[in-house]
Amino acid sequence: MSDEAVVSDGLSRVDQPWWRSGTIYQIYPHSFADSNGDGLGDLPGILSHVDHLQWLGIDAVWLSPVYPSPQHDNGYDVSNYRDIDPRFGTLDDCDRLIAALHERGIRLIMDLVVNHTSSEHEWFIEACASRDNRYRDWYIWRDARPGTVGGEPGAEPTNWGSYFSQPAWSWHESTQQYYLHLYASQQPDLNWQNPAVRDAVYELMAWWLDRGVDGFRMDVVNLISKPSDLVDGVVVAGAAFADPSPFVRFGPRLPEYLAEMHERVFTDRPADLVRIGETPGLTVEQARRLTRTRECGLDMVFQFEHMEIDRKPGDRLSPVALSIPALRGNLALWQTALATEGWNSLYGNNHDQPRLVSRFGDPSPDHWSASAKAVALALYLLQGTVSMFQGEEIGMIGATLRTAADFRDIRSVNYLRAAAAAGLDETVVVEALRLTARDNARTPVQWTTAPDAGFGSTDPWMPVAEHPPTITVEAQRVDPDSVLHFYRALIELRRTHLVIADGATRMLDTGQTPIMAYLRETVAETMIVVANLSSASQPVPELLGQNLRAASTPLIQSGAYAGANSLAPWQAFAAFLPGATPKGAP
> What's the CA gap between 439 and 424, in Å, rounded?
21
Least spacing, CB of residue 409 vs ligand NOJ, in Å: 8
Amino acid at 178: Y
Residue 559, by phi and psi: left (phi above 0), alpha (psi -120 to 50) or beta? Answer: left
> What's the CA gap between 315 and 163, in Å, rounded?
10
Residues forming beta bridges with residue 385, ordered by sequence position: 345
Q: Which is nearer to ligand NOJ, 78 or 527 (CB)?
A: 78
The single residue of 59, 77, 93, 219 carrying the catalytic annotation is 219
Least spacing, CB of residue 302 vs ligand NOJ, in Å: 9
Q: Which is nearer to ligand NOJ, 221 or 375 (CB)?
A: 221
Q: Which is nearer to ligand NOJ, 388 or 533 (CB)?
A: 388
Least spacing, CB of residue 217 vs ligand NOJ, in Å: 9
Q: Which is nearer to ligand NOJ, 76 or 88 (CB)?
A: 76
Least spacing, CB of residue 391 vs ligand NOJ, in Å: 17
Residues forming beta bridges with residue 13, ordered by sequence position: none
Least spacing, CB of residue 124 vs ligand NOJ, in Å: 15
> What's the CA gap between 581 and 463, in Å, rounded?
52
Least spacing, CB of residue 441 vs ligand NOJ, in Å: 10
Q: Beta strands 60-63 and 107-112: pairing type? A: parallel
Contacts of 169-172 with CB under 8 Å at 24 or more apart are 169/142, 171/144, 172/128, 172/141
**Coil, strand, or helix at residue 97?**
helix
Does the annotation mark 59 as catalytic?
no
Q: Which is nearer to ligand NOJ, 352 or 392 (CB)?
A: 352
Tell me 189's DSSP state: B
> What's the CA gap between 402 and 114, in Å, rounded?
35
Q: Tell me the residue nearest to ligand NOJ as measured from the CB.
A: 76
Tell me 465's DSSP state: P
Interface with ligand NOJ (CB under 6 A) = 73, 76, 113, 183, 219-220, 278, 351-352
Pick from 201, 164, 198: nearest CA to 437: 164
**Coil, strand, or helix at residue 368?**
helix
Does the annotation mark 278 as catalytic?
yes
The single residue of 42, 278, 362, 393 carrying the catalytic annotation is 278
CA angle 580, 583, 586 (to 5 degrees): 140
Q: Which is nearer to ligand NOJ, 272 or 409 (CB)?
A: 409
Amino acid at 536: A
Indicate which residues carry an active-site annotation: 219, 278
